[in-house]
Amino acid sequence: MWIYSFQGNLFQHKIEWDGEGSPDRGGTMTAVETQMTYSNSYTIHHEETYMTQEEDWDRDLLLDPAWEKQQRKTFTAWCNSHLRKAGTQIENIEEDFRNGLKLMLLLEVISGERLPKPDKGKMRFHKIANVNKALDFICSKGVKLVSIGAEEIVDGNVKMTLGMIWTIILRFAIQDISVEETSAKEGLLLWCQRKTAPYRNVNVQNFHISWKDGLALCALIHRHRPDLIDYSKLRKDDPIGNLNTAFEVAEKFLDIPKMLDAEDIVNTPKPDEKAIMTYVSCFYHAFAGAEQAETAANRICKVLAVNQENEKLMEEYEKLASELLEWIRRTIPWLENRVAEQTMRAMQQKLEDFRDYRRVHKPPRVQEKCQLEINFNTLQTKLRLSNRPAFMPSEGKMVSDIANAWKGLEQVEKGYEEWLLTEIRRLERLDHLAEKFKQKCAMHEAWTAGKEDLLSQKDYESASLMEIRALMRKHEAFESDLAAHQDRVEQIAAIAQELNELDYHDAATVNTRCQGICDQWDNLGTLTQKRRDALERVEKLWETIDQLYLEFAKRAAPFNNWMDGAMEDLQDMFIVHSIEEIQSLITAHDQFKATLPEADKERMATLGIHNEILKIAQTYGIKLSGINPYTNLTPQDISTKWDTVKHLVPLRDQMLQEEVARQQANERLRRQFAAQANIIGPWIQTKMEEISHVSVDIAGSLEEQMNSLKQYEQNIINYKSNIDKLEGDHQLIQESLIFDNKHTNYTMEHIRVGWEQLLTTIARTINEVENQILTRDAKGISQEQLNEFRASFNHFDRKRNGMMDPDDFRACLISMGYDLGEVEFARIMTLVDPNNTGVVTFQAFIDFMTRETAETDTAEQVMASFKILASDKNYITVEELRRELPPEQAEYCISRMTRFVGPNSPTDALDYISFSSALYGESDL
């Protein structure tokens, strides 16, 4: 019995000869791999599971003639595809290898190694020696040939020769094929299945009947070279045409010789498996380089896509940051402009413009600021996940720079609003004082009209004694009246001074009028003194004075002045800001009304003097001139003014009651605003405290946490209507010029700032969970690992504020199995606390743990991929990049790679090594 075996990665073969006749019924044969029986001398089978054959084996069927024919043609063509590299070929496979020379040459070509020098003689023993050298070389490559001598090859035994060539094909063409950790036959079959899977009418299950219609071969070619075959025009019912198309295209364009005949394959019920495997393996080797390049190109495209996306995010951040900073830069000068308007209307328009800014212009910028922080955090997470360094924005555009600019904006904004309200209050006071000034000046000027002319008269020179005495008394009455008006002049001067101090816009007119009144008052004093001196000089010349006239004049003048003051007070304008202030005015008015009975008595007494004069004149028949020589006041004047005072009193009552109603309405506005503010303020504070713990207290998966946070955010957004209603109440308060509220400590500014912080905090918390999901998915971190990280963090978060101090962080790491020295712990602290804040946040802890437990691509991997595309060169050309990569990625590389400088390098050579390093170096937008 002859036995030989050969071993490869796929299976082990044995050749057995059972002697004369066919194998006995019930003998053992293979059931898994294809059985091949070479004539009646030997049988090849695999050492696998065996089964009992129930039928007789016909000697004539042990080797299908069609299979032998296919093997002879295929193996001959395969040998010639290698021998032609040495300038030779074979015609007859069993004849041309008999002397061993071409057999040794074939082994040298396919192995790339030198065999021992062949014997030159032509004797049989020379041939046997050469064949043995070839067989020994085959054995040296791990193929065991048991009990097979060179004599069968030298004698031209076709079956043995075919078996030997199949052994060589297995060892050198199929054995090293590996796809997804499978090898040899299974690997080659899996490769074929994957490449042809998308094609209609193709279903590769084996290496015999799956290839009969030729579509599988055409699909393999089209998958790698779609320019060579129009697959859409092929028909399943034209197997001869399909096979010949594949053979011709492979031979002409792929340098794969024709190893099979289409008719033989089509007309054979089950084509020879070894012939098909041999031919298909040639396609695998032809396309293997392209596969490797495709894999390398895919890796590079993935890395470039990450870099392009990161650069886009950087550009968007820079653009958004620039726009926000520019808006802040433009807005601050507007808020710093404290040039006051001269009128209340203009200042109220400024206040309305400021309200528009707070309601319309600022809220979108608050959202932009929040979105900018979210984009920055997302970008940093993506950079960490892709093993890139942290993004450093342009100078002045850091998140902290934007926060500082925003803080400066809000400080200026708060000062601007306070200034506006102060100015409005000042103008309100100015308008009130100016109107009061005009009223008092008008009354004074009306009183002084003609007084200078009167004092300048010299009527006493031609007057009688009675007239002189009358003039003297009249002058005394005038002096009394003049003294009574001194207080009004001082009030006018005081109001003018206050208007100047409050920077009244028409202060020049006020000063001119006040100066005129003061100058006139000084002149009146001088003229009065001169006239008194003149009258006193002649007083001794006159003795008769009507005492009653004098008494009337003396009593009527102050009473008249009192009535003037009363009318002035009753018509006086007032401005108050609280119920207490208006109540004080009402109390004063009530006190004034209480004096009216006494004033009426004085009126009656004064009028009684005049009545007494009339009575005396009537009694003694004195003819009166009808003019009191001591005063211009008449009883009619007293009565008229008294009626005016009585008329003004109810009008003043009505005015005060209207102001009471207005102040009560203001008080209701205060209470209404306070009732809401005292609820909203604590609500915002409570939500802020809850959110500060929510990122570490929420249980369950990150998706469940995200859903909870989204619902939390929606609840907050739904609360916005309360803020809007409070804004409406605040506007009513400002329009009513209400400047204080004793019922609450919360101002609208507090509520606005708190609300903006609340929105920003919940958005930032959601973004942190999104980044954790992004980290988990990109790094392959399981939910159980994240839960373990969270549990560890919560345990060592002693203060329950979402942070660990360095000692707690060290204890946490030790509890998770880290053996930390001082140097190593210091290194880790620089990673989790780069700004040296002295605390480790939950996000920093998660980032560190995911970096420790996941793998990322590296610059070395990208270099290796480029090297494959560059065919092992240290540079890559523009043409190679455009051929191997998609257009967008190719142009991205071309625009960023530097020119490669080296001996004999082409002009379009590019340095992919420095480019790969730069991908993982400093981010440079």
Whether 418 has a pLDDT exceeding 70, the answer reads: yes
The more confidently predicted of residues 296 and 241 is 241
Say how far apart CA 474 and CA 628 lie, in whole Å: 9
Say how far apart CA 633 and CA 23 lie, in whole Å: 162
Class of domain 65-298: mainly alpha
Whether 47 has a pLDDT exceeding 60, the answer reads: no
- Among the ranges given (165-179, 272-286, 366-380, 654-668), the one the predictor scored with the smallest mean pLDDT: 165-179
Whether 2 has a pLDDT exceeding 80, the answer reads: no
Percent of the chain at pLDDT above 70? 86
> Could you give the dihedral angle defined by the CA atoms of residues 191, 193, 199 and 203, in that order, rounded to the nearest 10 degrees?
150
Whether 323 has a pLDDT exceeding 80, the answer reads: yes
Query: Tell me: the pLDDT tens digits for 692-708?
Result: 776 555 567 778 878 88
For residue 14, name the pLDDT band (cuts at 50, 70, 90): very low
Class of domain 678-823: mainly alpha
Rg (alpha carbons) of the chain, rounded to whole number? 57
Say how far apart CA 5 and CA 461 lie, in whole Å: 167
Whether 58 has a pLDDT exceeding 50, the answer reads: no
Which of 266, 246, 394, 379 shows the shortest CA–CA distance to 318? 394
- Residue 625's pLDDT is 63
Mean of the per-residue pLDDT values for the chain?
A: 81
- Among the ranges given (521-535, 639-653, 781-795, 898-912), the one the predictor scored with the smallest mean pLDDT: 781-795
Both tokens assigned to 366: 């608050």
- Residue 905's pLDDT is 85
Domain ranges (residues) in the chain: 65-298, 309-432, 450-633, 678-823
Polymer length in residues for the chain: 925
Q: 3-class SS at 272?
A: coil
- Residue 13's pLDDT is 35
Q: What average pLDDT does the segment 323-350 reach?
A: 85
- Residue 187's pLDDT is 84
* Topology match between the domains 65-298 and 450-633: no
For residue 57, name the pLDDT band (cuts at 50, 70, 90): very low
- Residue 893's pLDDT is 92
Both tokens assigned to 107: 């082994």
483 to 437, 497, 515, 602: CA distances (angstroms):
20, 22, 19, 20
Query: Tell me: the pLDDT tens digits for 734-749?
Result: 888 877 888 899 888 8
Q: Which residue's entry shows tokens 């009065």?
A: 528
25 to 29, 47, 54, 58, 59: CA distances (angstroms):
11, 19, 6, 11, 13
H helical segments located in 621-634: none
Whether 289 has a pLDDT exceeding 80, the answer reads: no
Both tokens assigned to 791: 């549990």
- Residue 779's pLDDT is 67
Strand segments (E) across 17-162: 28-30, 36-38, 42-46, 50-52
For residue 501, name the pLDDT band (cuts at 50, 70, 90): confident
Whether 62 has a pLDDT exceeding 60, the answer reads: no
Q: What average pLDDT does the segment 363-371 reach?
A: 89
Distance of CA 136 to the CA centre of its chain: 71
Q: How far apart are the first and last CA of the chain?
A: 78
For residue 53, name the pLDDT band (cuts at 50, 70, 90): very low
Whether 340 has a pLDDT exceeding 60, the answer reads: yes
Q: What is the fold, at CATH topology level, of the domain defined by 309-432?
A: Methane Monooxygenase Hydroxylase; Chain G, domain 1 (1.20.58)
- Residue 31's pLDDT is 26
- Residue 16's pLDDT is 36
Which of 629, 476, 484 shows the shortest CA–CA distance to 558? 484
Distance of CA 46 to the CA centre of its chain: 64
Q: Please list the helix, strand and coil fractions of the chain in percent, rounded to the nearest 5, in that order.
A: 70, 5, 25
466 to 40, 384, 463, 716: CA distances (angstroms):
181, 115, 8, 94
Q: 3-class SS at 31?
A: coil
pTM above 0.75, yes or no: no
Count the neighbouring beta carbons within 10 Å of the beta carbon of residue 74: 27
Count the neighbouring beta carbons within 10 Å of the beta carbon of residue 619: 8
Query: Tell me: the pLDDT tens digits for 589-641?
Result: 899 889 999 999 999 999 888 887 777 657 744 456 667 778 888 889 989 99
- Residue 494's pLDDT is 92
Class of domain 450-633: mainly alpha
Distance of CA 82 to the CA centre of its chain: 62
Supply φ then ψ for residue 877, to 5 degrees.
Answer: -95, 165
Which of 9, 27, 5, 26 shows the shortest CA–CA distance to 18? 27
